[in-house]
């Protein structure tokens, strides 16, 4: 009886170790796929922007860095962004965006990206719709461009 109990315990230990190993391998595969996917998104965004030789808008930049995020006191769905192009800091732009009414998540993301000084990839969705995506991340903000004050390079 004691031998059977010991064999059963060893079997359970081996099974648990194999399950842990399988879970670890699955986690590493998932992480590798996620990193490749994010890298591909960044590469595609960069290739898309390379077709524009002289950007006429901040939305044509490969990436931007948020310098300030300001909401209107009476309407927090309107956000003023001051952005620069990290590769050319002399190029700056001020964007007036309209977020969805009550979209606190987007406002928090924009504020955090500004505080962390992370690169953000702008992407036009249609004539006025746009998407801002943090590089090497799946975090996205959807908004509508209301106005832009673009400062071209001197």
Tell me: do 41 and 78 sit in the same domain: no
Tell me the pLDDT tens digit for each residue of 39-73: 777 777 666 666 666 777 888 888 899 999 999 88
Tell me: do 90 and 62 sit in the same domain: yes
Residues of the chain falling short of pLDDT 50: none
**How does the average pLDDT of the chain come out, rounded?**
85
Tell me: do 47 and 62 sit in the same domain: no
Tell me: do 11 and 64 sit in the same domain: no
Please count the structural domains in the chain. Answer: 2
What's the confidence (pLDDT) of residue 154?
58
Backbone angles phi, psi at 30, to 5 degrees: -60, -45
Tell me: do 102 and 87 sit in the same domain: yes
Domain that holds residue 30: 1-51
Tell me: do 47 and 64 sit in the same domain: no
The CATH number of the domain holding residue 77 is 2.40.50
What's the confidence (pLDDT) of residue 99?
92
Tell me: do 68 and 98 sit in the same domain: yes
Tell me: do 98 and 141 sit in the same domain: yes
Tell me: do 44 and 70 sit in the same domain: no
């Amino acid at each position: 009886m004691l031998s059977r109990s010991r064999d059963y315990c060893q079997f359970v230990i081996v099974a648990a170790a194999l399950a842990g190993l399988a879970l670890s391998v699955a986690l590493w595969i998932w992480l590798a796929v996620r990193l490749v996917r994010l890298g591909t998104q960044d590469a595609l965004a960069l290739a898309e922007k390379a077709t524009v030789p002289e950007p006429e808008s901040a939305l044509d930049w490969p990436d931007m860095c948020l310098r300030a995020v300001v909401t209107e006191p009476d309407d927090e769905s309107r956000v003023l962004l001051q952005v620069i192009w990290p590769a050319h800091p002399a190029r700056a732009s001020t964007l007036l965006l309209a977020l969805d009414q009550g979209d606190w998540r987007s406002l928090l993301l924009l504020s955090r990206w500004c505080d962390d000084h992370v690169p953000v990839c702008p992407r036009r969705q249609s004539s006025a719709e746009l998407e801002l995506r943090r590089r090497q991340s799946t975090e996205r903000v959807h908004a509508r461009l209301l106005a832009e004050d673009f400062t071209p390079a001197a």
